[in-house]
Structure 1
């Protein structure tokens, strides 16, 4: 498994407040796919027989993803902050890496983020999302709407 650069990756071992675990059909292929998406291999844990039991991947601090051999169970999308990363460049790297899986975008959202939607070879959907801060600052009406919605429950209560 190769290592690729990721923006600001923190290789410290610390208690993870939250992480995602994906059972995957091909640990090696999935690891390569996530490396193209900007994750780095933090650790690979072996089973007693020496085969790989778990690959611990990380993008930024507290953005940990564990891959384990097993039957895929895709569910809801998982979003990771992309920070200042060039998402168009990241999409191009994923596309160049080839293999199964896909990437859509990046696209701008109505809530002023730029999102890259990546579907891995097992069907898991990971979204890298970056704020469009210049656009937020330029839209005082949107800022007022967001500020007015703070603490409001669905249905207007």
Structure 2
């Protein structure tokens, strides 16, 4: 696994680290970069990665921490939405929408993780389409 400084990453509090780690691995094909155990050997922080620069840090939720799932949607670029739709169905993931084709030249699958975070997987439909043509099509 390649190690690099992360130019941006998201920290997400999860209610059950084991369930969340399994979900991200089984549904989104993420891999663990590093897992930090507490004094009891339970994972308290997990740095996970999908594609390059798709890094997420999962943190065990502390009783006094504030979380905000409203208004936050993670968007991940993928190469084959339909494979992820099949993978999500097999893993019993909650599918909110899709796969669906969007006017902005994207095919998307919208999922909800075990803690209620919304994850949108997005794939470009026509890779040869010029940006200006996409924008004109949306207008």
TM normalised by structure 2 equals 0.82
2:57 is aligned with 1:61: no
Change (3 A) 1:81 1:69: same
Which of 41, 45, 49 is the aligned partner of 2:32? 41
Q: In the TM superposition, what whole-angstrom CA distance separates every residue of 1:37-68 from its partner, at most 9, and x where no partner exists? A: 12112221112342211111101111001111
- Closer/same/farther in 2, CA of residues 111 and 41 from structure 1, 3 Å limit: same
Q: What is the match of residue 50 of structure 1? A: 41
Larger Rg: 1
Matched, 1:29 2:25: no
Question: What is the SS of the residue equivalent to 1:136?
Answer: coil
Paired with 1:111 and 1:144, the residues of 2 have a C-alpha distance of 7
The correspondence of residues 10-21 of structure 1 with structure 2, limited to 5 A, is 11-21=1-11
Structure 1 gaps, min length 5:
1-10, 150-157
- In the aligned structure 1, how far is the partner of 2:99 from the partner of 2:24? 17
CA gap of 1:27–1:141, structure 2 versus 1, over 3 A, is closer
| Partner Cα distance (1:144, 1:95) in 2 | 32
Judge conservation of contact 1:37–1:91 (CA < 8 Å) in 2: no
Where structure 2 has 5 or more consecutive residues not aligned to the other structure, the ranges are: none
Aligned residues: 131
Asked if 1:80 is matched to 2:73, the reply is no
Cα-to-partner distance string for 1:20-53 (whole Å, 9 max, x where unaligned): 1110111111111111212112221112342211
Q: Are 2:46 and 2:57, in contact at CA under 8 Å, matched by a contact in 1?
A: yes
Q: Which has the higher strand share?
A: 2
RMSD in angstroms over aligned alpha carbons? Answer: 2.4
User: Relative to structure 2, which stretch is displaced further, 46-55 or 110-119?
Assistant: 46-55
Q: How big is the shift at 1:143? A: 4.5
